[in-house]
């Protein structure tokens, strides 16, 4: 059953693809038919919904409002269908999940594996976003759920569950720091560091930690991508400060040596930051 009008279906497709031609290809509908329904909808609403540009279709302010509402309507219908299926004992459907890149390398694959076993009829659609933009994306209806790093400032969202992951320094297995069972942050500061930059959530944590300890790091390089930081470590450029999430895949494969900081005893293969 398609509860939405042709206009709304066509509108959503054009807004998503930013092109009548690509929307027509996606829906297998003639572009002229889509354009006719869009024009009719704009006439009935008495306002333009798109700007017609040489590069494609761009939503107007009114179009953005309708797009946000329409996505919520579609999502509400999906939720209703899932609830009805639950009453029937059917567990199937789709869940749109927003998540930052830091979770994409090991955490999300493990999550999908577990979901496939526990809910084989549910498709998990993952949308990787900048952690700082996930908040607004969730509010605008672009996802059902979100995994967010440091969500304290997101007062208008409900936090279902919190998890804490340890922080630590990552180094090569043959690095001098890897030989210690316990090390202090000041010891790590003696070696070249790869410093995390924005938009990585860890960037502000690292800066606060350095300021609190009054440490001026010996900067070997800066990077705003976790994979780039880990690659620099594996080539011997320096050590880096990351969370367990960032190195989970390496730890599971027995890769980079990871040392604890600030006096914590090192757990094999990972230990977090202490006080």
For the domain that residue 145 is a member of, what is the CATH number?
A: 3.40.190.10
To the nearest 10 degrees (0 to 180), the angle between helices 31-45 and 20-27 is 120
Whether 241 is in a domain gets the answer yes
Last residue of a domain, one of 48, 73, 88: 88
Whether 275 is in a domain gets the answer no
Residues paired with residue 126 on neighbouring β-strands, in sequence order: 97
State mean pLDDT over 218-224.
94
Whether 242 is in a domain gets the answer yes
Specify the number of domains making up the chain: 3
Q: Which helix (H) or strand (E) holds 243?
A: strand 239-243
Cβ burial, residue 85 (10 Å; 0-12/13-18/19+): middle
Q: What is the predicted pLDDT for the residue at 153?
A: 65
State mean pLDDT over 175-200.
83
Q: Are residues 192 and 122 in the same domain?
A: no
Q: For residue 220, what pLDDT band results from cuts at 50, 70 and 90?
A: very high
Residues paired with residue 171 on neighbouring β-strands, in sequence order: 257
Q: Please tell me which residue, 239 or 177, carries the higher pLDDT value.
A: 239
Q: What is the predicted pLDDT for the residue at 84?
A: 65
| Domain hosting residue 21, numbered range | 1-88
Token look-up 């090991």 returns 106
pLDDT per residue over 51-79, tens digit each? 999 888 999 999 999 988 888 887 777 77
- CATH, residue 4: 1.10.10.10
Q: Which of 71-80, 152-161, 228-237, 258-267 has the lowest mean pLDDT?
A: 258-267
pLDDT per residue over 18-59, tens digit each? 999 999 998 888 999 999 999 998 998 899 999 999 888 999
pLDDT of 150 > 90? The answer is no
Q: Are residues 67 and 79 in the same domain?
A: yes
pLDDT of 4 > 80? The answer is no
Whether 2 is in a domain gets the answer yes
pLDDT per residue over 95-105, tens digit each? 889 998 878 87
Q: For residue 136, what pLDDT band results from cuts at 50, 70 and 90?
A: confident
Residue-averaged pLDDT of the chain: 80
Q: Are residues 103 and 82 in the same domain?
A: no
Percent of the chain whose pLDDT exceeds 70: 83
Find, among 163, 167, 165, 164, the residue nearest to 260 by Cα: 167
pLDDT of 1 > 90? The answer is no
Q: Are residues 252 and 174 in the same domain?
A: yes
Whether 265 is in a domain gets the answer no
């Amino acid at each position: 059953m398609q509860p939405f009008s042709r206009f709304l279906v066509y509108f959503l497709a054009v807004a998503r693809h930013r092109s009548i031609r690509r929307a027509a290809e996606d829906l297998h509908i003639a572009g002229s038919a889509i354009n006719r329904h869009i024009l009719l909808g704009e006439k009935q609403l008495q306002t333009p919904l798109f700007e017609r540009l040489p590069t494609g279709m761009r939503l107007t302010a009114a179009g953005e409002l309708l797009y946000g509402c329409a996505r919520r309507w579609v999502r509400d219908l999906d939720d209703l269908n899932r609830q009805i299926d639950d009453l029937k004992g059917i567990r199937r459907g789709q869940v749109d999940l927003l998540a930052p890149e830091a979770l994409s390398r090991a955490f999300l694959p493990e999550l999908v594996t577990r979901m496939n076993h526990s809910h084989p009829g549910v498709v998990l659609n993952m949308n990787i976003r900048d952690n700082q933009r996930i908040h607004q994306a969730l509010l605008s209806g672009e996802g059902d759920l979100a995994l967010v790093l440091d969500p304290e400032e997101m007062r208008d969202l409900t936090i279902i569950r919190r998890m804490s992951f340890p922080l630590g320094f990552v180094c090569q297995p043959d690095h001098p720091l890897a030989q210690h069972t316990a090390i202090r942050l000041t010891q790590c500061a003696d070696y070249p560091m790869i410093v995390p930059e924005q938009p990585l959530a860890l960037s502000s944590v690292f800066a606060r930690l350095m300021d609190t300890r009054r440490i001026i790091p010996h900067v070997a390089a800066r990077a705003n991508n976790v994979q780039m930081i880990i690659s620099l470590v594996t080539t011997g450029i320096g050590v880096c400060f990351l969370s367990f999430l960032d190195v989970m895949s390496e730890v599971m494969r027995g890769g980079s040596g990871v040392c604890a900081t600030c006096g914590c005893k090192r757990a094999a293969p990972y230990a977090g930051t202490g006080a």
